[in-house]
Amino acid sequence: MEEKKGFSTRLVHGGGEPCPQTGSLIPPLYQTSTFVFDNVEQGAKRFAGEEKGYIYSRLGNPTLTRLEEALADLEEAEAGLAFGSGMAAVSGVLIALLKNGDHLLCGDTVYGCTYGLLRLFQEKFGIEVGFADLSAPEEAVKAIQPNTRVIYLETPVNPTMNLVDLEAVSRLARQTGAWVVVDNTFATPYLQQPLKLGADFVVHSATKYIGGHGDVIAGITLGKREILDEIRSTTLKDIGGVLSPFDAWLLLRGLRTLAVRMDRHVANAREVVRFLENHPAVGEVLYPGSPNHPQNRLANRQMRAPGGVVGFRLKGGESAARAFLDRVRLCRLTVSLGETTTLIQHPATMTHAVVPADAREQMGITGDLVRISTGIEDIQDIIADLEQALDKGSS
């Protein structure tokens, strides 16, 4: 048996071998909507599932296959399934796993659009939704119900950066027969592999670190092949949240540099945290990689490194946070994360604005909270920008 290559080697070579027909180092882009059959019998067999082969790019495409196989290898999953956005990936797996009358248990803090989707499930489709602090095992145990079908969580949590013990939650799920679905966007498979810790499915907004360059919208779900094959032939096919071949090709390009980018994101985040923890205008820094964070030991146990996103609260409250964000220059005031550029935003009025105010307060997403996704610029330039924006507010 061939020895498995290292992670970075798999990143670089996971997109496929050079094209055998032309010798092209980069695998070709199959920018086509449909595929020609040799004859009617072959077409009929493919539609019936009796013969493997491509039919129509909504059902599969060679470029998407390369991406799905590469990410499945990195997450050590049986299979992967690409979608047109991160939310399409979340929707696809949850629609497949849930039905009317089922209960979904979600972490008490979750991305705003995911929160909106769960409310839609509850209000229109009769799926029960509960929220609990999954970082506290006793709270998770109390929140489980006889009809709990799925436990859905983020770790690190967006934007408070809390962690969930994946092994503990997965043990609980196995005892109750629930599926565990983990949004691994903030960590990527380079920093954390939830399936190895007991989870059943992983979802990514591949728009973020996997793409890495801010030029693609995409999502992917990874996990058990049998269920993902079913999602491909039903939910994905019929709802149509499909990724384009060109976007899949861009993601394959982004994957090649994921490790080196993540190393730089993490290194810059650590320096930003040191700066913020010592600035008089900052009240609290939320980063599990800091020795001051209460979950630092858990971060060291289940993550290679704590990631490139940092949350922090300003002592002056929401007005100070808004004024600070209006003063940054190098850091770009925009939503999203995981790009080469440092991005900064105000979760309460932006990414989590859809969440009702009382729920946001319970999540800890208050007006004084700022989220920064450190880019790969020179760290002294990032800190200089943060410093001038903070100092002007205190002068």
Residues designated as active site:
58, 111, 183, 208
**Amino acid identity of 310?**
V
Backbone φ and ψ for 336, nearest 5 degrees, come out as 85, 180
Token pair for 260: 């080196």
Question: DSSP secondary-structure letter at 92?
Answer: H
Helix, strand or coil, per DSSP, at residue 294: coil
Write down the number of H helices and E strands in the chain: 16, 12
Sheet architecture: strand order including 79-83: 79-83, 219-223, 201-205, 179-183, 148-154, 103-107, 128-132
Cα–Cα distance, 117 to 179 (Å, whole number): 18
Does 245 sit behind a cis peptide bond, omega within 30 degrees of 0 on the bond before it?
no
Sheet architecture: strand order including 282-286: 282-286, 309-314, 369-373, 343-345, 332-333
Cα–Cα distance, 383 to 241 (Å, whole number): 39
Cα–Cα distance, 310 to 118 (Å, whole number): 26
Q: Is the dihedral of CA 148, 152, 155, 161 positive or negative?
A: negative
Cα–Cα distance, 300 to 165 (Å, whole number): 11
**Amino acid identity of 73?**
D
